[in-house]
């Protein structure tokens, strides 16, 4: 059954091509389609477009469908095109004409839009809930390993002393900025498009603010044309926020693959968390980090993919937008899985002690030697040249005092862990998920 079908049957090949994976993607949207309909029919009744007795019957039937979806007992019938058609069909089969009334004053365009907004909003919350404990782990490990020094690199060449306290703390603070961009994406998503219909509004006396309040949206997509133009843009902005988190994980994973390498030998992991070789008995491969790196690099490509798929589209709805779901929707779980696995690995890490005692790291202290000379009154540029020449002519010696002394904010001795945690707490609190939960609970009468 197709809501749009009149008297002409579409060629089978055309139908197969145009539907594509949409039925599969619609299962992601199923619970949100029901929520959108619950809000819509309550609004219809309030403006006189739906009898009160029909509203009561429809609410009961929709909540039954919602319960089936939550239990995993829901599916699209083979002859049904999409989630919207399936829900309307079930309502019509059970309630007759009352089921046919739920589509008044809306189009599949704004129905899909509100479903996607609700889905993205829910997935962003799940992402926040995945990032926060990982952030806490990084901060815990930062404090635990604050005195474990290791060589810092620039251009992959020895640079200056660093610490694993700094390393863990760096990625913790990176997640703070990632969460800020996720919050920005959330604000774009948390606007109600319902009532924009096909992108040009409705001649019915609908109350769009009412459906926004019922669904817990912070505001409306006011302009009905922009509500439709926002499809693709919202997905791209969310994808960019995911890509930022993915970039943090990818870079962290690259570090770990290097540091586990025998030529670095800074860290190790239990054998159960690494993999072996079919012919080399000694191998302990960092497959988890390699796969995190690859998954995350693929997610980093999502914003550009969405950008290219929506390039040169004029205003209004276009079927191109259907394809945005196929890579974006599964990306949320993939990224959460990567976060979970990174957490598993880093909570079981073993970090080598006294790494800097190795002779090959002696040049890490050239900057400290320059600074010591400066403290003795030698101009910085002269001290730099003096130490540089000692390196070149082989007379350089590691300073007798190699104790790290850099207590400024964000350095080895001053990680600012509490300050970074405060930043994360603030951005996490700003999402305001509780207000949304309360609205949805009221809608479902929980």
Q: What is the pLDDT of residues 198-239, one digit of tens each?
A: 999 999 999 999 999 999 999 999 999 999 999 999 999 999
Indicate the pLDDT class of residue 284, thresholds 50, 70 and 90: confident
Mean of pLDDT values over 408-431: 95
Distance of CA 334 to the CA centre of its chain: 10
Mean of pLDDT values over 155-159: 95
pLDDT of residue 246: 98
Nearest 5°: phi and psi at 302? -60, -50
- Rounded Cα–Cα distance for residues 114 and 208 (Å): 12
pLDDT at 78 over 90: no
Mean of pLDDT values over 151-179: 97
pLDDT at 67 over 60: yes
pLDDT at 434 over 70: yes
pLDDT at 426 over 90: yes
pLDDT, tens digit, for every residue of 321-342?
888 999 999 999 999 999 999 9
pLDDT of residue 146: 95
Higher pLDDT, 277 or 408: 408
pLDDT at 190 over 90: yes
Architecture of the domain defined by 117-148+163-355+416-444: Up-down Bundle (1.20)
pLDDT of residue 95: 96
Mean of pLDDT values over 106-122: 95
pLDDT of residue 38: 98
pLDDT of residue 141: 98
* Percent of the chain topping pLDDT 90: 83
Mean residue pLDDT across the chain: 93
pLDDT at 446 over 90: no
Active site residue 437: no
Indicate the pLDDT class of residue 402, thresholds 50, 70 and 90: low
Mean of pLDDT values over 242-266: 97
pLDDT of residue 8: 58
Indicate the pLDDT class of residue 263, thresholds 50, 70 and 90: very high
Active site residue 277: yes
- Rounded Cα–Cα distance for residues 118 and 363 (Å): 55
pLDDT at 266 over 70: yes
Classify domain 12-101 at the CATH class level: mainly alpha
pLDDT of residue 390: 96
Higher pLDDT, 403 or 399: 399
pLDDT of residue 20: 74
Q: What residue ranges do the domains of the chain occupy?
A: 12-101, 117-148+163-355+416-444, 358-415
- Rounded Cα–Cα distance for residues 89 and 99 (Å): 8
Higher pLDDT, 435 or 13: 435
pLDDT, tens digit, for every residue of 124-138?
999 999 999 999 999
pLDDT at 401 over 70: no
pLDDT of residue 283: 80
Least confident span in 25-29, 230-234, 274-278, 371-375: 274-278
Least confident span in 186-195, 367-376, 404-413: 404-413
pLDDT at 378 over 60: yes
- Determine which one of 219, 277, 315, 347 is catalytic: 277
* Percent of the chain topping pLDDT 70: 97
pLDDT of residue 59: 97
Indicate the pLDDT class of residue 22, thresholds 50, 70 and 90: confident
pLDDT of residue 21: 77
pLDDT of residue 10: 62
Higher pLDDT, 47 or 2: 47
Neighbours of 29 (CB within 10 A): 22
pLDDT at 2 over 80: no
């Amino acid at each position: 059954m197709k809501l749009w079908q009149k008297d002409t049957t579409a060629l089978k090949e055309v139908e197969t091509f145009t539907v594509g994976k949409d039925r599969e993607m619609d299962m992601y949207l199923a619970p949100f389609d029901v929520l959108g309909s619950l809000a819509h029919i309550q609004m219809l009744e309030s403006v006189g477009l739906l009898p009160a007795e029909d509203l009561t019957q429809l609410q009961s039937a929709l909540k039954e469908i919602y319960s089936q979806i939550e239990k995993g007992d829901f599916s699209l019938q083979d002859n049904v095109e999409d989630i919207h058609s399936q829900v309307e069909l079930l309502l019509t089969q059970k309630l007759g004409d009352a089921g046919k009334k739920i589509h008044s004053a809306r189009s599949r365009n704004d129905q899909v839009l509100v479903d996607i907004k609700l889905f993205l909003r829910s997935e962003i919350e799940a992402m926040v809930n995945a990032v926060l404990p990982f952030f806490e782990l990084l901060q815990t490990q930062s404090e635990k390993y604050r005195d474990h020094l290791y060589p810092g690199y620039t251009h992959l060449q020895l640079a200056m002393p660093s610490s694993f306290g700094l390393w863990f703390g760096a990625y913790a603070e990176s997640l703070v900025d990632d969460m800020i961009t996720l919050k920005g994406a959330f604000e774009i998503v948390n606007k109600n498009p319902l009532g924009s219909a096909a992108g040009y509004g409705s001649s019915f006396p609908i109350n769009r603010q009412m459906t926004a309040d019922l669904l817990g949206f912070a505001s409306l997509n006011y302009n009905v044309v922009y509500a439709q133009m926002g499809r693709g843009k919202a997905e791209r902005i969310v994808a960019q926020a995911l890509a930022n988190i993915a970039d943090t994980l990818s870079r962290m994973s690259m570090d770990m693959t290097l540091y586990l390498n025998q030529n670095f030998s800074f860290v190790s992991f239990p054998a159960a968390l690494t993999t072996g070789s079919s012919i080399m008995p000694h191998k302990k491969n960092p497959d988890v980090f390699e796969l995190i790196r690859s998954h995350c690099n693929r997610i980093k490509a999502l914003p550009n993919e969405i950008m290219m798929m929506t390039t040169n589209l004029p205003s209004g709805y276009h079927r191109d937008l259907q394809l945005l779901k196929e890579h974006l929707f599964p990306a949320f779980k993939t990224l959460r899985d990567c976060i979970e696995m990174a957490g598993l690995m880093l909570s079981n890490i073993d970090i080598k002690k006294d790494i800097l005692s190795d002779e090959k790291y002696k040049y890490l202290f050239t900057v400290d030697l320059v600074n010591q000379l400066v403290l003795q009154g030698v101009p910085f540029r002269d001290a730099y040249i003096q130490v540089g020449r000692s390196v070149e002519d082989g007379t350089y010696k590691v300073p007798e005092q190699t104790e790290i002394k850099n207590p400024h904010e964000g350095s080895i001795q001053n990680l600012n862990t509490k300050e970074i945690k405060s930043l994360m707490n603030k951005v996490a609190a700003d999402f305001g998920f509780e207000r949304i939960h309360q609205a949805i609970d009221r809608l479902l009468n929980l």
